Amino acid sequence: MNDITFFKRIPVGFIRANCYIISGDKTNAVLIDPGGDYEKLKTVLDGSNLRAEAVLLTHGHYDHHRAAKQFQDAGAKIYMHAADREIIPYIHGFVKPVMFEPDFDVSDGETLSLAGLEIKVMHTPGHSKGGVCYYINNVLFTGDTLFHGDVGRTDLPGGNAAALRESIRKKLYALPDDTVVYPGHEEETTIGEEKRFNNYVRSDG
């Protein structure tokens, strides 16, 4: 248990946020941040004979959850941190929010048993109050907390630059250097690489 046997990264929505489809039992799937393109994601699931068991949201911004309600209506349960419920209705420019009610609130240090995987929740506020990362057997899904050479913006409601740096230094940089980081946008990296080269948060800076 806890080996990811199915992994697919799919950029979705007009901002091209990364949605990750993962499974450990080859029957059920977890979708991390389905930010749009429901039909595209469902086609991948159907083609792989996977059922969407759960939607895990790293935070409450629209580009990470616009397809969550459709998967919820089809039977999946939505998990997110309670502190980000308040930003679900937030209107981003011309984008109208898709409203939903999460099924479960996640908390720091909690372990979720889903789709044959043990998924540890790490509360990492800064990009938003309820931002979280999901850690599975040396693989870390960071949403908009940590990117390759960069970090998430902190000028949106609930953002806090000092809190973001603390979350990254104290929690994420405490993980093994070879931990693979899959962020909410762009390409993957490792904890070790970010500790040495991240332009905004280095382990010694």
Structural domains counted in the chain:
1
Task: Give this prediction's pTM.
Answer: 0.96
Question: Long-range contact list for 171-178, CB < 8 A, 24+ apart?
Answer: 171/122, 171/124, 171/133, 172/122, 172/124, 172/133, 172/140, 172/142, 172/145, 172/146, 173/201, 173/203, 175/135, 175/140, 176/138, 178/138
Query: 144 in a domain, yes or no?
Result: yes
**What percentage of the chain has pLDDT greater than the value 70?**
97
Could you tell me where the beta strands, DSSP code E, fall in 62-154?
A: 77-81, 104-106, 111-114, 117-123, 132-136, 139-143, 146-147, 150-151
Query: 100 in a domain, yes or no?
Result: yes
Query: 203 in a domain, yes or no?
Result: no
Query: 134 in a domain, yes or no?
Result: yes
Query: 1 in a domain, yes or no?
Result: no
Q: What is the CATH number of the domain that holds 88?
A: 3.60.15.10
**What percentage of the chain has pLDDT greater than the value 90?**
88
Query: 80 in a domain, yes or no?
Result: yes
Q: Give residue 205's pLDDT.
A: 54
pLDDT at 159 over 80: yes
Query: 64 in a domain, yes or no?
Result: yes
**CA of residue 65 relative to chain centroid, distance:** 10
Query: Which residues have C-beta within 8 Å of that of residue 2, sequence separation ≥ 6?
Result: 24, 116, 117, 118, 136, 137
Q: Give residue 204's pLDDT.
A: 62
Grade residue 93 by pLDDT with cuts at 50, 70 and 90: low
Q: Give residue 95's pLDDT.
A: 75
13-30 confidence digits (pLDDT tens): 988 999 999 999 999 999
Query: 157 in a domain, yes or no?
Result: yes
**Domain residue limits at 86:** 6-197
Measured distance CA(45)–CA(112) in Å, rounded: 21
97-136 confidence digits (pLDDT tens): 789 999 999 999 999 999 999 999 999 999 999 999 999 9
Grade residue 60 by pLDDT with cuts at 50, 70 and 90: very high
